[in-house]
Amino acid sequence: MGKATGFLEYQRQENTTIPPAERLKTFREFHVPLTEAERRCQSARCMDCGAPFCQSGMVLAGMVTGCPLHNLIPEWNHEVYSGNPGLALARLLKTNCFPEFTGRVCPALCEKACILGHDDLPVTSHDNELYIIETAFAEGRMKPRIPRVRSGKRVAVVGSGPSGLACADRLNRRGHLVTVFEREDRIGGLLMYGIPNMKLDKSVVLRRQALMEAEGVTFVTGADVGRTVAAEDLLNEYDAVALCCGAKQPRTLDCVKGRDIKGVYFAVDFLKATTAALLSGAENASASDADPLSAETFRARRGYPSAKGKHVVIVGGGDTGNDCIATVMRHGCKSVTAIEMMPAPPVERAASNPWPQWPKVLKTDYGHEEAASVFGSDPRVFETTVKSCTVNKKGELKEVTLVRGRFEAGKWVDEPGSERSTPCDLLLIAAGFTGCEPYTPESFGLERGPRGTVLTDGSHQTAIPGVFTAGDMRRGQSLVVWAITEGRACAKEVDEYLMGYTAL
């Protein structure tokens, strides 16, 4: 695969990024793709390794390494190197419904398992994937593929995040009539309202929606199943139902439970409000207006919780916390501190964490870089949490007390004498999720397990015949690539339930 000596001849070269000082001026995506010639050189680095761990998706030491979708990475790398973009696209779409999403937001489990990464830097498979799909869209190869034969079976998919979209896409291609119900005003789930625009431009989601609609999928927005749409109606009107509602029940902090503090938000609510205001402004902008996605233009808008001129504290060190850092930087915050309860990971792999395990090393992401470029230091503080909040007479947050500590036998223990207070006008909680919101599964009579996920027997079939579940709602909060994997697997089970066999 690739060029036999390519990994010896060419060095790893990633897509370049616009410098922080420039990209902070806008909510637009900030990665600059390589030229076609440069991309072919990067694909040439894919070795003829014989046993491609990159597509394995296996669990080692309790962590997944390699692609959960089992993407045929060496095959499409070879086609890119050989100058066959059409063949590369065919191999990519065989396993991945939405490479334009994973090519932007996936943490590249494939690259962490790349055999070249054992002694050198791995192949840029993540960037290569994005190149294949974006080239296909640009050159008109992503045309509607309308099923020639319809089965007459009707399927309701509840939730239009990556798992719901993947499930709907596969079932539609099989010939079933699919309707996707989404409670928000736009489809996409966290793709639309949980991931910031500069990381995943919302035009990419809308582009995929238009393609799926042309292929026969029906989307119904503003449809909140379990509230405005009755579960009984779906069971009566459809031959099968797939619940793909995500895991959107946020984990809170003890110091804010039961308190009405102005200035405290869950991260996803904050990110959603920012994206909604951004899109609304862009849609209503006239041709003579300034760039509707510029940070300066955005800061003049109203109707969203603004971080402009505020001291911000973000609780949570994952991707969502990083996205919050990048977002408040574009708001024009006065300062930002990101706290994480776990110790800082090592900069380099520990001997106990060898390849091809997932590398447990410190990751400095785009938000961290941007905050450091403005304020002079990394915003992250490890082994720390918020112990208490101080409000003024109006109930507005003004200060938080931080405390250092550690986990002992699974329980957090404060470090004596480590408390310190810091100004805080805006506290964003990005501490993860505790499972799916209960009202939708309850409307179907389904039970949730200890992790807040819908109970199944290990498959995607629930206790109710004809009702299936997939994505974070079944698995718990995870990655977009896992959600797509879940959706595809669920579609296969739904198809077999409807037809008695499956060709998926």
Preceding amide of 356 cis, omega within 30: yes
pLDDT for residue 287: 61
Rounded to whole angstroms, how far apart are CA atoms 276 and 194?
Answer: 11
CA dihedral 109, 110, 115, 116 (to 10 degrees): -100
Count of beta carbons in the 10 Å neighbourhood of residue 78: 21
Give strand ranges (E) for 372-436: 380-382, 384-391, 397-408, 411-414, 420-423, 426-429
Helix (H, G, I), strand (E, B) or coil at 387: strand
Say what the pLDDT of residue 465 is.
96
Distance (Å, rounded) from C-alpha 116 to C-alpha 123?
Answer: 7
Give the Cα separation of 311 and 332 in Å (integer): 10
| Residues in a beta bridge with 398 | none
Q: Assign 192 to helix, strand or coil.
A: helix
Burial class (CB in 10 A: 0-12, 13-18, 19+), 144: exposed
Nearest to 477 by CA among 251, 242, 305, 264: 251
Gyration radius of the chain over CA positions: 23
Please list, in sequence order, all residues whose beta carbon lies within 8 angstroms of the beta carbon of residue 231, skipping any fewer than 6 positions away: 225, 440, 443, 444
Which residue in this structure is represented by tokens 């491609």?
Answer: 52
Say if residue 65 is exposed, middle or buried (CB neighbours under 10 Å; 0-12, 13-18, 19+): buried
Q: How high is the mean pLDDT in each 10-residue block of the chain (504 residues)?
A: 88 97 97 97 93 94 95 96 96 98 97 94 97 98 96 98 98 98 98 98 98 98 98 98 96 91 97 96 74 92 94 96 98 98 95 94 97 98 97 96 96 96 98 95 96 95 97 96 98 98 94
Per-residue model confidence (pLDDT) at position 289: 66
- In the beta sheet, which residues pair with residue 249? none
User: CB–CB of 404/386 below 8 Å?
Assistant: no
| CA neighbours closer than 13 Å in the CB half-sphere of residue 341 | 18
Instruction: Estimate the crossing angle of helix 125-138 against helix 85-93, to 10 degrees.
Output: 110
Write the DSSP assignment of 279-312 as a string of letters: HHHHHH--TTSS-TTBHHHHHT--SS---TT-EE
- Around Cβ 364, how many Cβ atoms within 10 Å? 12
Q: Contact 288/305 with Cβ under 8 angstroms?
A: no
Burial class (CB in 10 A: 0-12, 13-18, 19+), 24: buried
pTM exceeds 0.85 for this model:
yes
Query: What domains does the chain contain, in order, with CATH numbers?
Result: 6-138 (1.10.1060.10), 154-249+434-499 (3.50.50.60), 254-429 (3.50.50.60)
